[in-house]
Structure 1
Amino acid sequence: MMSDVNYKKISMDGLWNNNPATVQILGLCPLLAVTGSVVNAMGLGLATLVVLMGSNACVSLIRHYVTDAVRLPAFVMIIAAMVTVIEMLMQAYTFELYEILGIFIPLIVTNCTVLGRADAFASKNAVLPAMVDGVMMGMGFLVILLILGGMRELVGQGTLFSNMQLLFGPMAAHWELTVIDNYGGFLLAILPPGAFLGLGLIIAGKNVIDKRIKEVQKRKASDEPKTSRRVRTTGKVG
């Protein structure tokens, strides 16, 4: 039932509680490989988001017409078709960025996040909730890509938003911010070990925040009975 759909939960799961990168730990190969800069991270993140949204919608539309025997192959075909469309669009409009991202665009087909959401959510829900789930999961993945890409670009090169014209055209040629002048660079941040270290810091930061939130909630829950007893006692005295 549409009225039973909790869009707030879907959004929070995608962005925080069940984030593909920091909780499910899925799609790490492209996430770690292309996040040397913000523009690379944004290019892959937007492509993944569109594929998630489109494939979830298509899977939801056919959910009543596909048998269990061919369910997964059908989902993979849908995802592959969506990725092919994205590839063609990137070749037409952002060819240089497409060449930089290389094999990692076609590899979206094998991204466990995309197939996992198709099977776990889209195949069991109506089109609108399935699309919202795809968008939120894609947004969660994109945000982590951008944070990691920003961290690595800043520490590795001392800049932010370099080469954004590869994605947004000539108007973005002057978007680059030089945060540290005459910076010699830090090679480790750009190399694969830097990606692992950066993601580890992001996951650790999320865990710390989650722990603080739980402590606050636990404190509030323990204070509520005391408040209730105080109110009842005051009422009796009055």
Structure 2
Amino acid sequence: MSKLKNKDILLGPISGNNPVIVQVLGICSALAVTSKLEPAIVMALSVTIVVAFGNVIISLLRKTIPNSIRMIVQLVVVAALVTVISEVLKAYAYDLNKQLSVFVGLIITNCILMGRLEAFALAHGPWQSFLDGIGNGVGYGIILIIIGFFRELFGSGTLLGYQVIPQSFYGAGYMDNGLMILPPMALILIACIIWVHRSRHHELWEEE
């Protein structure tokens, strides 16, 4: 029973209760950092790390945090983790860190992150909190990566900076779709993913 519960905690946010397309959280970063695949991947990994370890730390401290200052403690923990992520990016991926700009710092205010700390980590043990953080981070990251994949492919003809669409296509008249790299297209892609997701789950519910 415990294993099934842990499995649900981990896998639930990836599909059935996805934080972006079901709970409609974290939309701002999905619009802002997905014009290219690489920053989408880095943001996905960063948020997953912060949510997972933030959950664990708050879970370990949950019985010692006075209720009146719990939000302050959560912000301090998250700010420390985000600072570590930011410094690592500056040291090993400086250009990418500049490309992400303020959005790494804004992980602190990510609705998904604060929601999991408040709704889950304060009420569950460290292991389940870690699984919840991984699940929600991966669920968030999958959506960012899907959007980043299509926006870069059709907007620039590249993936991870490498040319994917053959030059012969351009010679035959093919043109990159400039609309794909604009923020409104990210919103349209999210809407399409939500539509497909809800249609699929509606069919599954009918079969049950």
Give the TM-score normalised by the residue count of structure 2: 0.93
Aligned to 2:205: 214
- Tell whether the 8 Å contact from 2:50 to 2:82 is kept in structure 1 after alignment: yes
Corresponding position: 1:199 with 2:190: yes
Mark the runs of 5 or more structure 2 residues left unpaired by the alignment: none
Residue number in structure 1 paired with 2:65: 66
Which AA in structure 2 matches 1:178? V
Distance in 2 between residues matched to 1:124 and 1:101, nearest whole Å: 33
Alpha-carbon contact 1:49-1:137 (below 8 Å) kept: yes
- Output one character per residue of 1:79-135: Cα deviation in whole Å (capped at 9) or x when no partner: 111100100110011111000000000000000100100011011111111011101
Q: Which runs of 4+ in 1 moved over 3 A?
A: 2-5
In structure 2, the partner of 1:118 is 117
Q: Confirm whether residue 179 of structure 1 aligns to residue 165 of structure 2.
A: yes
Q: Distance in 1 between matches of 2:78 and 2:85?
A: 11
**1:50 aligned partner, one-letter code:** I
- Aligned residue in 1 for 2:51: 52
User: Could you tell me which amino acid in structure 1 is paired with residue 30 of structure 2?
Assistant: L
How many residues align? The count is 203
Q: What is the match of residue 32 of structure 1?
A: 31
Spell out, residue by residue over 1:27-85, the C-alpha distance to the aligned partner (whole angstroms, 9 max, x if none): 11111111001101001111101100110010001000011101111111111111001
For the residues of structure 1 that align with 2:163 and 2:6, how far apart are their CA atoms?
Answer: 37
Conserved? CA contact 1:34–1:40, under 8 Å = yes
Mapped partners of 2:119, 2:62: distance in 1: 12
Long gaps (5+) in structure 1: 163-175, 218-238
| CA root-mean-square deviation | 1.5
Residues 126-151 of structure 1: per-residue CA shift (max 9 Å, x gap) = 11110111011000011000001011
Give 3-state SS (helix, strand or coil) of 2:122's partner: helix
2:20 counterpart residue number:
21
C-alpha distance in structure 2 between counterparts of 1:48 and 1:4, whole Å: 25
Decide which moves more: 50-59 or 151-160: 151-160
Aligned to 1:41: 40
Aligned to 1:6, the other structure's residue is in SS state helix
Aligned to 1:226: none
The DSSP-based 3-state class of the residue aligned with 1:121 is: helix
Structure-1 separation of matches of 2:30 and 2:187:
10
When normalised by structure 1's length, the TM-score is 0.82
In structure 2, the CA distance between the partners of 1:106 and 1:216, relative to structure 1 (3 Å rule), is same
> Percent same amino acid among aligned pairs?
34
- Secondary structure at the aligned position of 1:125 is classed as coil
Q: Which amino acid aligns with 1:147?
A: I
